[in-house]
Structure formats: structure tokens, C-alpha cells
A and B are shown apart, each in its own frame.
Chain A
């Protein structure tokens, strides 16, 4: 009777992961809707979108793409290292991911403040004198990269929380589904950027 500590942990890794994927689907459809809005307005205002897109800095966009791709790799590697029971490496890889995310946000900050100092922001005097198409382009630019940046911030919080769980051994080599889910979330952020980058920075 005593010492019969049967801890019945209700654990369903498959279910947890499926839930994360379903959440990711809602996110894909949310951004998918925005991509449709973008492509329709682009189809209706090809010249304005062409001119407006030339304002964006391809170098900054490329650097941020590289940063996100590398961070996606490090968080993916964190799963391998937790499976191999290497707690220290897992924490390092997750820390690098967060660090890269912060560098991404710093780049984004300078990019946005650069645009704003040139008078390009929703409701600005310069945009009011521009064509309807250019107003639409920059509206979508701020809305879509802004929503993406919000996802980065949430991702940093999520990964930092899981880092804490790894540190306190709540995430272990045989129980790491929340780490997998945070990685899935981070890859989603990467996935969205893979399409934002060519649409806003490259196609001019």
C-alpha cells in the first residue's frame, strides 16, 4: 500500500504534435490569405508594385533570410542533441537560435526605422502623394513583415520557455515533444519568410 507511487502522467506525444500541426495550418491559412491579397493587388497595380519594391534593400532581406535559415537548422539540431542525451549542446543550440532571432529583429528595426525616416510609413505625407498601388504595397509590407516579426517575438518566448524546461530536466531524451513543437513553430516562421523574401525584396 505504501510506496505505491504510481504516477499516471497523461502523455500523448502524437496528440501534442498533431495539435501543433493543426495550429500551424491555421497560421499557414492566415498568411496564405495575406499572400492572396498581395498577389491580387500586385496583379492590379504591376507598375506601382515594381517601383515600390525597388525601395527595399535586397541585402538586408538576404541577410535576414540567411539568419533565419541558420536558426532553423540550430533548433532542428537541438532535437537531435536531446535525443542523444546531450543537454549542454541542446541548450547551446537553442541559445544560438534565440540569439539569431534577436539579430533578425535588430536588422528589422533598422530597416523599418530607415523607411520611416525616409517618410515611408502608413499615413505619411510622402505616401499620400504616391499612387494607390504604392500605398497598398507599403501597407502590405508593414502588415505582413510586422505580423511575421510578431511571430519571431513569440517564437523567442516559446523557445526560451522550453530552454528553461530543458535546464530543469522537464524535457529529457525520452520526453521532448514540447521541444519538437517549439521547433515546428520556429520552422513555420522560417517557412513564411521563405515566401515573404522573394515577394517583397526580389521581384521588382
Chain B
């Protein structure tokens, strides 16, 4: 009974759609960095990478279908990492 409660079968087609989206964003990021956007190139490439990783986490790694606390833990780790990056750069910018 407790097994039934959290067994979610993801359709094959869902994975195929996610893959297409991921490949599209990969080629988009290659194309975007090909045209010179100056400082925006970095932001664009990292933004696309972030969207890709969210897709991987939610669908491929099943966070969307699993219990909520996994998602909260993952989000906490990323927030921790972001805080460390911000603090490091504040140090370098204002020293």
C-alpha cells in the first residue's frame, strides 16, 4: 500500500520532450555565444545552463514527482552555493 502511494511512472514521451528542449537550449547557447553580445554572453550562457539544469532536476531526477522535501533540500544546497559565490565576489569587488 505504501508503495502505491509514491510510485509515479513517467511516460517515455515526457523524457523525449525534455531531451528536445535540452538539445534546443544547448544549440541556442552555442549560437548565442557565437554572436558577440559582450558581457551579456556570459549571462545568456549561464541563464540557459540554469534552465537546463532545472529541467534535468525536475524531470530526469524526478523532483517534480517525488516528495516535496527532496526539492526543498536541493533548493537549499543551491541557495547555500549562491550565497558563498556572492560573498566571495563581494570580497573581491570591495577589497
Contact = CB atoms under 8 A, between A and B. Distances in A.
A190 B61 CA distance: 11
A76 B55 CA distance: 13
Contacts, number: 105
A73 B12 CA distance: 9
B74 to A, nearest CB: 7
Interface string A173-191: 0100000100110010011
B61 A198 contact: no
9 contacts: A17-B66, A28-B78, A32-B81, A76-B60, A80-B9, A84-B9, A187-B61, A203-B41, A203-B45
Interface string A53-77: 0000010001001100110110011
Contact of A203 (B11, B33, B73): B33
B48 to A, nearest CB: 7
Contact of A195 (B12, B53, B92): B53
Interface in B30-71: 30, 33, 41-42, 45-46, 48-49, 52-53, 56-57, 59-62, 66-67, 70
Given A191-B56, A203-B33, 6 more contacts: A32-B84, A36-B84, A65-B26, A79-B10, A80-B12, A195-B53
Chain A at the B interface: mostly helix, strand, loop or mixed? helix
Interface of B: 3, 7, 9-12, 15-16, 18-19, 22-23, 26-27, 29-30, 33, 41-42, 45-46, 48-49, 52-53, 56-57, 59-62, 66-67, 70, 73-74, 77-78, 80-81, 84-85, 88-89, 92
Contacts of A84: 9
A202 interface: yes
A73 B60 contact: yes
Given A40-B92, A204-B33, A191 B53 contact: yes
A25 interface: yes
Contacts of B23: 66, 69
Contact of B77 (A28, A40, A197): A28
A115 B36 CA distance: 26
Given A28-B77, A29-B77, A43-B92, A202 B19 contact: no
Interface of A: 14, 17-18, 21, 25, 28-29, 32, 35-36, 39-40, 43-44, 58, 62, 65-66, 69-70, 72-73, 76-77, 79-80, 83-84, 174, 180, 183-184, 187, 190-191, 194-195, 197-198, 202-204
Given A40-B92, A72-B60, A191-B53, A198 B84 contact: no
Given A69-B23, A198-B33, A203-B45, A76 B15 contact: yes
B76 to A, nearest CB: 9
